Structure 1
Amino acid sequence: MAQTYASNQPQGFENHIKNVAIVGAGGNVGKFITEALLKTGKHHVTAITREDGSNVLPAGVNIAKVNYDDQSSLVAALQGQEVLVITMSVMAPPEQQNKLIEAAAAAGVPWILPNEFGGDPLNYEIGNDIFLGATKKKYRDYIEQLGKSSWIGIACGFWYEFSLGGGPERYGFDFKNRTLTLMDNGTIRTNTSTWPQCGRAVASLLSFKILPDNEDDASPCLANFKNKCVYISSFTIGQRDMLDSVLRVTATSLSDWKVTHTTAKERFQSGQEELRKGNMAGFGRLLYARNFFAESNGNFGATKGLHNDILGLPEEDLDEFTKIGIQMSEERPPY
């Protein structure tokens, strides 16, 4: 297919994104995406919320109330939107994202960022092992099948502060009891991102031009990422790096901690066993452990490269977000 340029578009074509709709604008990562979009001053942001939604939304956001049992309300909310950003729990009803995708197609929304915030969605080996890959692919395929929108996936790895402070089934840390389950001596590195970095990445991406101006224009644009992934990372680190940061932040020494050693594969298998027993904590255990396998892990930056520089993302302070993760562990029970 021949490259399309802004210079050969019909009169009146505007080569930038103005109107962005977001599902989950008051949620974990959604709040940071919404705030970052507003901060650019380039976007009108609309939060798609349930009629009975109670989340506190950032100031400056338009609100569109919808009923997921009434598809016409979804279509109406998405009229005139250029991008639909979907952020929701993996536990959300699967048909909910389908309804949003269908409504976006009916409303003529050209771009969708599906609920892809996590590991590399194109790593089908890991995706199959953690039971999420096929489902996420189905949503991307459905967007292409309907033929009205294009998707862009955001591969950011696990959220660092959320994962560090979320209990021992994630990155292995139990701050209350000062214990750590260390996999393969903690040397396997993975990509992990903070919520603010995810927000900045989406805002920067949606601030790109939509199309190159002409054949001589090599600046980044949305068209470069059509039906592809954007790869970002705050830190490329292993459990040992996290531990070093934890020791600095807590002013403790290794002797203050009880460290249990295992392998990522053993931990993955134990997670499978717990899940088979009906213990959902086993899912979290296998999900995280799988990304620390020595031969195939969550370090997509090593195999795919990162788009941090293109997006203008800053370097972050690991200890700052380690502190936030520890605070999160104290403020709410792990889940």
Structure 2
Amino acid sequence: MSTNHITKVAIVGAGGRSGGAMTAELLKTGKHTVTAITRQDSTSPLPEGVKVAKVNYDDQSTLVDALKGQDALIITMGTQAPADTQLKLIRAAAEAGVKWICPNEWGPDSANPDLCKDVSLFAHASGPRDEIKKLGKSSYLAVVCGFWYEWSLAITDSYGFDFANKTVTFFDDGETKTNTSTWPQVGRAVAGLLSLPITAEGGDQERCLDHFRDQMVYISSFTVSQHDMLASVLRVSGDKESDWTIKKEGAEERYKAAAEAMKKGDRLAYVRTMYTRVFYADDSGNYGKTKGLANEFLGLPEENIDEATKIAMDRAKGNPYA
């Protein structure tokens, strides 16, 4: 990097919901050239304005070539991606001289030891961060955003809302707060983060990427309980609370039941374990309270939860996994 700013950004998953939001916000700044890293046989549409680099994940040289000259690499990929894909990218980035990596975090606080003990997906997130530090060529910026609000609210096994049957299952009393984020907010956070000077300029010694080097970056759209979510649903739908059936289930009991169901082959039970665990009364899901948020630092706006709730409710009318 010849300047004190990141200008060239490569992103894996630029055509996805989260990656697409990040790409759009990076391009909106006018400060970045964005290159989408895609498989050679991919036909997925990509945002207008990105460059494209085709790669073969079984040929590391193609990854290295695609990443040469890039200042930063953003990795977004689904849980179904091969386990070694992210490590291949990290090793290629080190070989190519990429200085900054945003690993595939984008979820609850994977630096929380209690969460990691109970949910394997969160525990595995430390592996890529450790690999980046071991290679010693790049630094990571691990963005923690909680679960995606528009995605999670639409799925019954996630935040407990069954829109088709107007039923909600509260974990414990439904009052436990958790941090959750929208796709656009995370896009803005990444764009804001990668637009910071690398080293401090002027009198503010914290307003730079060095301040976040090899750190978790905590951001959020909403700090809400299930009760808060239901209140938003009622405002959006015009329903009364009496129109809904409200059930209650102990969070720890729900988690244990889901863990047992997993052993019997219930594939959705793992989703229930993840989501239920962030609603424990230990504030493990409320990292804004325990760790603090970088929202103000990054200039993130306050969002209207009802607008995000409407998006989730519309998604629930079709296939919420699509």
Q: Same fold (TM over 0.5)?
A: yes
Question: C-alpha displacement at 1:330, in angstroms?
Answer: 1.2
Q: Does 2:188 match 1:200?
A: yes
Alignment of 1:260-275 (within 5 A): 260-275=247-262
Q: Give the equivalent residue in structure 2 for 1:168.
A: 156
Question: What is the TM-score normalised by the length of structure 2?
Answer: 0.97
Match for residue 222 of structure 2?
235
The aligned residue for residue 113 of structure 1 is 102
Which position in structure 2 is the counterpart of 1:63? 52
Q: How far has the Cα of 1:91 moved from its partner?
A: 2.0
The partner residue of 1:128 within 101, 104, 117 is 117
Which residue of the partner structure matches residue 199 of structure 2?
211
Question: Following the alignment from structure 1 to structure 2, what is the Cα–Cα distance between the partners of residues 254 and 134?
Answer: 38
Counterpart residue type for residue 181 of structure 1: T
State the shift of 1:327 in Å. 0.6
CA distance in 2, matches of 1:190, 1:296: 8
* Match in the other structure for 2:17: 28
Contact 1:78 1:109 in 2 (8 A): yes
CA distance in structure 2 between the partners assigned to 1:180 and 1:313 by the alignment: 30
Structure 1 residue corresponding to 2:135, chosen from 146, 153, 169: 146
Unpaired segments ≥5 residues, structure 1: 1-11
1:104 equivalent to 2:93? Answer yes
Which amino acid in structure 2 is aligned with residue 44 of structure 1? Answer: T
Q: Give % identity.
A: 53
Coordinate RMSD, CA, aligned: 1.3
Tell me, yes or no, if the aligned pair for 2:178 and 2:283 is still in contact at 8 Å.
no
TM (norm. structure 1) is 0.94
CA separation in 1, counterparts of 2:245 and 2:223? 25
CA–CA separation in structure 1 for the residues paired with 2:259 and 2:47: 39
Q: Are positions 1:74 and 2:88 aligned together? A: no
**1:284 counterpart residue number:** 271
Change (3 A) 1:37 1:334: closer
Matched, 1:303 2:310: no
1:43 equivalenced with 2:32 (yes/no): yes
Deviation at 1:171, TM superposition (A): 0.3
CA contact (8 A) 2:108 2:122 kept: no
Q: Which 4+ stretches in 1 moved above 3 angstroms?
A: none
Task: Report the Cα offset of residue 331 of structure 1.
Answer: 2.7
Deviations 1:57-94 (A, max 9, x none): 11000000000000000000000001000000122111
Amino acid at match of 1:140: R
SS in 2 for 1:154: strand
Structure 1 residue 17 corresponds to structure 2 residue 6: yes
User: Are the aligned partners of 2:142 and 2:217 in contact in 1 as well (CA < 8 Å)?
Assistant: yes
Q: How many residues align?
A: 322
Structure 2 match to 1:93? 82
Aligned mates of 1:244, 1:99 — CA distance in 2: 44
Is 1:332–2:319 an aligned residue pair? yes
Whether the aligned pair in 2 keeps the contact of 1:168 and 1:181 (CA below 8 Å) is no
